[in-house]
Amino acid sequence: MSRSALAAPTKAQRGIAALLLITLALTGCGVVARTSIQTAQLAVQGTPDVQPSAAEVAAKPYPQIKVSGPNGGAVLVLGNIDAGRQAWYSSERSIVFLQDGLLVGTHGGSPELQQMWIEGDNPFHTLHALQGTVTVQRRYDLMPGYRYGIPVIGTLERLGTEPVDILGKVRTLVHVRETLRGTQWKGENHYWVDPASGFIWKSQQMIAPGTRLEITQLKPYSLDLQRR
């Protein structure tokens, strides 16, 4: 996948996204309804973590993920899709960007992943079919510090299948580990993948040295499941 396909939003696009989120919060229309904004804000600001029930997730019509990080967790809702790049919102100040299940950007925190892209072949399209080890060349743009184009090499390895409980439903998923190495960068990403389709149901992905987010698909975007 090319860098352009994973390009980070511009300042103008971020401003529009923030304005859109505020507007939707006030009007209660569109994918991101007023109740979802309030729920996400409470999760981020009021408690260290949030544990939604299956009934609570099912009662809301829009796609939802849970994102957990160093400061707790929140339920995020899908607010926008641009050329396959999904913007998931937790509040006016926090956005997580996903593409093909990969964490390609964040906004509203520190450190901030302005963009991540893969140079060359992208094995994440068929992660469930991984055999042996596969090397991935990544690049990261990070703030603060204007750290652009940071090269990081990832080595993917299938670890086997594991039961994963999401909202009380246990799925048998393929566990893939990605070992990351780069200048001042050392760590691991983990992916739990549907063995039939390659859909990433759960992952732990680094956004910067020493900082990692856990992402769980609570109610996936329906087209993600249909086109796998």
Phi, psi of 39 (to 5 degrees): -60, -45
Q: Which pLDDT belongs to residue 70? A: 77
Match domain 4-220 to its CATH number in 1.10.340.30, 2.60.40.10, 3.40.718.10, 2.40.360.10.
2.40.360.10
Q: Are 171 and 158 in contact (CB under 8 A)?
A: no
Mean per-residue pLDDT over the chain, rounded: 81
Read off the pTM.
Answer: 0.80
Helix residue spans in the chain (DSSP H): 11-27, 34-46, 54-59, 222-226
* Range with lowest mean pLDDT among 3-12, 79-88, 143-152, 184-193: 3-12
Give the model confidence (pLDDT) of 150-203 as tens digits.
999 999 999 999 999 999 999 999 999 999 999 889 999 999 999 999 999 999
The number of CA neighbours under 13 Å toward the Cβ of 138 is 30
154-163 residue pLDDT tens: 999 999 999 9
pLDDT > 90? residue 105? yes
Cβ atoms of 21 and 80 closer than 8 Å: no
**Domain boundaries in the chain?**
4-220
Cα(222)–Cα(49) distance, rounded to whole angstroms?
Answer: 26
Q: Is the pLDDT of residue 7 over 70?
A: no
